[in-house]
Amino acid sequence: MQSDIAPPTMGPNKKLNRQTMRSERLLGHSINDARRRLLGYKEIAGSDDLPSLEASATIHPILPIGQNTGKVGRKLGFWQNWSKRRKLVTSISSIILLVGGVGIGYVTFIQKSSAPDIEKVALKVQAEPPPKPKTVASPLSGVQVTPELATRPVTGIMIENSLDARPQSGLQDAGVVFEAIAEGGITRFMALFQDTTPGYIGPVRSLRPYYIDFAAPFDAGIAHVGGSPEALAQIRSGGKDLDQFFNAGSYWRVGSRRAPHNMYTSFERLDALNQKKGYISSKFVSWPRKEDKAVTVPTAKSIDIAISSVNYNSHYDYDAATNSYLRSEGGRPHIATNAEADPAGQQLRPKVVLVLIMPYSTAGKYSVYGTNGSGVMYVFQDGTATEGKWNKADRASQFTFTDLAGKPLALNAGQTWITPLAAASKVSYKP
């Protein structure tokens, strides 16, 4: 038995490592067996050349690793399980690193992706257009204007209409125009302004009592150059008087026309005069307004108003493109200019034409109108004609307009031109 485990004969250049294995349970087994049992490795190639361990008198059986007991077994179990532990620790560490990396990447991504969103929001806020200025309906004309313009005082200006006074200036900017006979068949205008401020207006002429009746419902100051004795007494006793006789600095005469057809003013000067006198606002009842709504087939495309003689009778042609009426008088387009050196000017084109049938007479050389009361009226707008009734209780009361059934008539926004006539026979229209 001793010969069975004797070490093999080695060559001259080979030396045998005869160090005895420390574990008694490995005696009698080859080094490869020990390695295989300790480390769980596969059989090493060329193991047959390795000598077996020195034989022992007692052969101890080799137990499986799991059954090895004692100090050596514990060591073997520790080293065998170390590989598993190392794999477990490595796996856990990898998971921790992976989760940490994902977290860091997520935070970085959020920071990078959220910043552009904030920038985009900021850019969107900056890119938004500024809010549109708030507008309100002008109490006088109904057109949309800024609140500041809507609170301006209404100012009436007496504008001449003799042949020597044409073309006039400023009429194109008036919100409301009243046309009546002054004397001798010559008409004159009371032009009311609130939300417009033309810089060249005239020629300015004298005042009559019925023009005060036209202006009083609008709580308007009246710019004029003198007037009839009755008119001057009335305006000075209770009206807002802007007479040139006492406020010469608010007016001037132009050299391109002969007196008395050469007196002019501007709203820069009239505004200063209104402020000086304390006429800073006007309280009045506005007329009801509606949106423009032109009809497909106009029934009143041509209007003729015979207020006086041929030089003062007016004619209107309906303009469907602007839903307004082109005004002519004396057989020619009625032109208004913006300045003294404005040869072309522009044709007047009111949005609404009203004809009020009211009593008319003369007292000496002056005209007399029955402005208080009621009567028949005609409303021309949107290419149509509507018959109705007008009513005015007294001087301070506003004109009201209703249809024949008594329903209030709403007017288009824009300039309204009003002509009182003695009889309905003096107005005609055709499609």
Q: Are 293 and 378 members of one domain?
A: yes
Task: Give per-residue pLDDT as tens, 354-410.
Answer: 999 999 999 999 999 999 999 999 999 999 999 999 999 999 999 999 999 999 999
The tokens for 125 are: 């806020």
Q: Are 88 and 198 members of one domain?
A: no
Q: Are 261 and 325 members of one domain?
A: yes
Domain hosting residue 83, numbered range? 75-109
pLDDT of amino acid 285? 98
Q: Are 370 and 398 members of one domain?
A: yes
In a domain, 165, yes or no: yes
CB of 312 closer than 8 Å to CB of 187:
yes
| Measured distance CA(173)–CA(201) in Å, rounded | 10
pLDDT of amino acid 60? 46
Q: Are 54 and 86 members of one domain?
A: no
Q: Any idea which residue has 């900021």 for tokens?
A: 122
Nearest to 352 by CA among 379, 387, 327, 330: 379
Q: Are 88 and 161 members of one domain?
A: no
Task: Give per-residue pLDDT as tens, 68-111.
Answer: 444 444 544 544 554 555 656 566 666 665 655 555 555 455 55
pLDDT of amino acid 130? 77
Q: What is the mean pLDDT of the chain?
A: 83
Q: Any idea which residue has 């160090």 for tokens?
A: 19
Q: Are 201 and 308 members of one domain?
A: yes
Inform me whether the pLDDT recorded for 36 exceeds 50.
yes
Q: Are 58 and 177 members of one domain?
A: no
Domain count, the chain: 3
CB of 270 closer than 8 Å to CB of 392:
no
